[in-house]
A = this chain, B = another copy of it.
Amino acid sequence: MTTPSPGYERLFRKLNAIHPITDADRAALADLPLREKKIAKNTDVVKEGDAPRECCLLIEGFLCRDKILGEGQRQIFSFHIPGDIPDLQSLNLEIADDSLGALTACTVGFIPRASLTALLAERPNVAAAFWRDTLIEAAVLRAWLAGVGRRSAHQRISHLVCELYVRLEAVGLTDGSMFQLPVNQSQLADALGLSAVHVNRVLQDLRGSGVIKTRGRFVRIEDWERLQAAGDFDPNYLHLRGPS
């Protein structure tokens, strides 16, 4: 057994938060060939139409999945944080129908699809954990859809802040009530189906009423109760096992 790459640490922590895996599973994962690569901010890891032969594990930084529609409008589908394997969403699909881009400078680990597929066939428990992870991602997507379809701009933004906080906490990436939100206002707009101008105004509102505070790319939650209420946020859909 090789020494586990530090890249796996956060994956284990994440998997542990959603589905218990054994030490043997861990060892098998750590033995997978992993090619680490630095990705520059604002570049794509996978572009729409690609047929990647590797699967990527996010080790450090933030990624997002998005798509540009016919008339140039952009929709962001998800934000990915360290420990995520965003490509799980396309492991069994030949060509990507959306893109995966770096919001910040990132470190990702590429794993050959074949190795991963082989491991999953051998270790049903790991396969179950990964499948569960994709299902949770789908649940997050549904929550996102519900927001964009039916919630007001205030609710959407508050909800997203709650979600990111809880997810980051589960992998130990929060600092008290503060966390990094490496996303500008127009990216936020593209995620939430709003315009950048409106996002700006709602954010001012939220700050003005003392619910959150922003400093640079960091957000501090000043009043979790009110934020949660404003976003109609219920963490169940994240299916985390620990304390939310």
Residues of A within 8 A of B (CB): 19, 65, 67, 69-71, 73-75, 77, 89-95, 97-98, 121, 124, 127-128, 131-132, 134-139, 141-146, 148-151, 190, 192-193, 232, 236-237, 239
Contacts and interface: CB of A to CB of B under 8 A. Distances in A.
A193 B243 CA distance: 33
A90 B142 CA distance: 13
A151 B98 contact: no
A73 B152 CA distance: 11
A141 B65 CA distance: 13
5 contacts: A69-B151, A73-B150, A141-B141, A149-B190, A150-B193
A191 B131 CA distance: 26
Contact of A97 (B67, B77, B98, B236): B236
A139 B71 contact: no
A229 to B, nearest CB: 9
Contact of A134 (B67, B90, B138, B193): B138
A236 to B, nearest CB: 6
A127 B127 contact: yes
Given A135-B93, A136-B93, A67 B146 contact: yes
B232 A145 contact: no
